[in-house]
Chain A
C-alpha cells in the first residue's frame, strides 16, 4: 500500500512537467504578453524593450520554460510577475477560501443527495423516484455558472437576502455553496440510488437472512457495507473536481479563492502565477484522489488485495 502511494506520487512528476509545459505554451500562443498590460502612453520604445527583456520575452518560450523548471526543481514557485508577491504566499492566502467553499458545497451536496438517493432506491419506480430523478437530471444538465448567475439575480439583486460577493460572513457562502453543490447532488443521488438498488438484488443478502440475521442488521451490515463503496468514490471525485474546478463559481461570485486567482493571472498574462496555481491545485487534486483511493482500499478487500497482488508480482519480476 505504501509502495502504491509512493508510485502514485512519483507519477505526479511527469504530470507536473506536462501541465506546466502546456500552460507555458498556451500563454505564449495567446495574443498579448504581460508587458502589453503594463504599457502606458509615456513609454518609449526603449522602455518597452527593457520591460520585454526583463521578463525574458525576447528569448524563445522554451528558454523561459527551462528557467522556470530549474527554479521549480529547487522548490521555488517564483513570484507574481505583476505584484511581486510570491506564488506561495498568494496561494496559501487564498487556498482556505477555496477549500471551505468546496467542503461546504460537498457537505451540502452529500447531505441532500444521500437521503434523496436512499429514498429513490427505496421507492424505486414510484413517483418519489421519478421526482428525485427529474431533479437530478435538472442539476446534471444545468451549467453551474448559469445557476450561479440566476441565484445571484434572484437572491442578491432582487430579494437582497444574500450578499453578491464574499464578505467574510456565512451569508456570503450560501449562494456559491448552493450553485456549486447542485451539480454534485445530481451525480451523488444517482450513484446512491443505483448502488443501493444493485446491492439489494445481491444473493448474499438472502444468505444473511437465511442464517437469521435481523432485517436491520441486514441493511446496516450487509447492504450498506457494500453500497457505500461506489458512493465514496463518487464523493471523492466530486471533492477533487470542486477543489480544482470552482474557478467558474469563484469568478461569478468574485470569491477570493484559488480559482479566481488563477483566472485573474491568466487574463493578465502572469505566467508564473498561473503556472504556480495550476501546480498547487493539481497537487491538491491528486492528493485528494490518492486519499480516496486509500479509503477505497480500506473498505473494499477486493481492491486491497489487487494492490497486494501487484506488489507481489513486482517482487517476483
Chain B
C-alpha cells in the first residue's frame, strides 16, 4: 500500500473517533507459544473506555495486565506471543487488522504507553529532548526546531526545567526519568494513555508526586487512561472504573464504587483483605492462600477455585460466566448461580 493510500485509509477511519468510546477491547485472547508449553496469558478480556475516563486494571503479577496493554498497542512480542482472537478498537480503528505502517501512525499519536521501569525505558545515547521530539516529528509536520521546542514545553509540563532537554537519561533520577517517559507519551496529545505500573519502580514519596501529576495532565490533555497496577490505592486515587484481572480473565468490573464498596467476587475480597487496615493497625493481614495457577496449565473451571474459600465442586467444572449485576457492575463467579449467595464482606443491603 502506498503512503498516500495509508493516509486516506486512516482519515476515513478517523471519522469514527468522535464516538464516546475511545478504546474497546473485546474477548482478547493472547498466548505465548513456547517450545514445550503454551502460556495462556490473556483469556478473553473485554472492557470499554470512554473519553476522559480512567480505568484501572488490577491484578497480581502474572495476571495478564501487561500483556493486555501490549496487545492494545499491538506490540506483543512475536515470537513467542500470539494474539489468538479478539478485537481491539482504538478511536474506531481495529488495531489488530492494521498494517505496520498504519499502526506506526496510531502509536504515539492516538494511543501511547508508559512503561513500568523508567530506568531502562529511555534510550541512553539520546538526549531526553531528542527522544520527546522524535515522537513529535513522527506524528506532526513540524521542523526539527519546532519539535525540539515542543519537547522543552513537554518537559516543563511534567515539571522538569526546559534547559535540561539536552541532558541524557543517566543524568536524571528515577522519578525524573518517569516524568520524561510521561512527557514522551503525552507529546502528541493522545486520546488514550496506557500506564503500565508507572510508579512501581519509584519510591513512595515520588509515587505520590508522579500520580498527582498524571492526574493533572489527564485532565489538562483530555486523555483517557488505562492504569495498570497491583496497587488498589493507586486505583482509588486515579480511576473511575476498575477491572480486576485473575489468570487472564476479568473476574469483576465496575465503577470504583461498585468494586470497592460493593465487592462481589471472592478474589477481589481477598485483595482487599490482604491490605493493611489504616483504622485498625493491629489487625492481622489475611493474604490469599496459595499462588496463581501456572498459566501453562490453567485448571478447568474457575481458575481461582483452588484458592477460594467459597469454592464448591461445581466451581472446578465450569468456567464462570460474566454476569451483569447492575448497569455498570459485572462479576464472574459461579456461586452467584445460587440465589442469595453473598461473600462474607458483603455490605450492600
- Contacts from A to B (Cβ < 8 Å): 202-204, 206-215, 221-222, 225-226, 229, 299-302, 305
Q: Is the CB of A202 within 8 A of B120?
A: yes
Beyond A203-B120, A226-B124, A226-B125, whether A210 also contacts B113 by CB under 8 A is: yes
Report the minimum CB–CB distance from B269 to chain A (whole Å).
Answer: 35
Report the minimal beta-carbon distance from A20 to chain B, rounded to whole angstroms: 41
What's the minimum C-beta distance from A198 to chain B, rounded to whole angstroms? 12
> A203-B117, A204-B121, A301-B125 known; A213 and B170 CB under 8 Å?
no
Q: Is the CB of A207 within 8 A of B168?
A: no
In the complex, residue of chain B having the shortest beta-carbon distance to the beta carbon of A301: B168
Pair A206/B121 contact, Cβ less than 8 Å = yes
Contact of B123 among A208, A215, A229, A299 (CB under 8 A): A208
**In B101-151, which residues have CB < 8 Å from any A CB?**
101, 103-109, 112-113, 115, 117, 120-127, 134-135, 138-139
**Does B122 lie within 8 Å of A211, measured CB to CB?**
no
Give min CB distance, B133 to chain A, whole Å: 11
State whether A215 and B100 are in contact (beta carbons under 8 Å apart), knowing that A206-B115, A210-B75 are contacts in the complex.
Answer: yes
Given contacts A204-B120, A210-B113, A211-B135, contact A302 B126 (CB under 8 A): no
Question: Quick one: given A210-B73, A210-B107, A212-B106, are A225 and B168 in contact (CB under 8 Å)?
Answer: no
B-side interface size class = 20 to 34
* A residues less than 8 Å from B73 (CB atoms): 209-210
Contacts of A214 in B (CB 8 A): 100-101, 104
A204 x B123 contact (CB < 8 A): yes
Residues on A with C-beta less than 8 A from B121 are 203-204, 206-207
Which chain A residue has the least Cβ–Cβ distance from B194?
Answer: A210
State the CA gap A215–B107 with chains docked (Å): 12
How does the 8 Å CB contact mask read for B314-326 relative to A, with 1 for contact and 0 for none?
0000000000000
A226 to B113, CA, bound (A): 22
Give the Cβ gap from B144 to chain A, nearest Cβ, in Å.
14
A-B contact pairs, 10 of them (CB 8 A): A206-B121, A210-B185, A211-B107, A211-B108, A211-B134, A212-B109, A212-B135, A214-B104, A301-B168, A305-B170
Establish whether residues B115 and A203, one from each chain, have CB atoms under 8 Å apart when the complex forms: yes
Which of chain A's residues have a CB closer than 8 A to the CB of B123? 204, 207-208, 222, 225-226
Bound together, the chains give a CA A212 to CA B138 distance in angstroms of 7
Most buried by B among A202, A203, A215: A203
Kindly state the separation between the CA atoms of A221 and B127 in the bound complex, as whole angstroms: 13
CB pair B134–A213 under 8 Å, yes or no, is yes
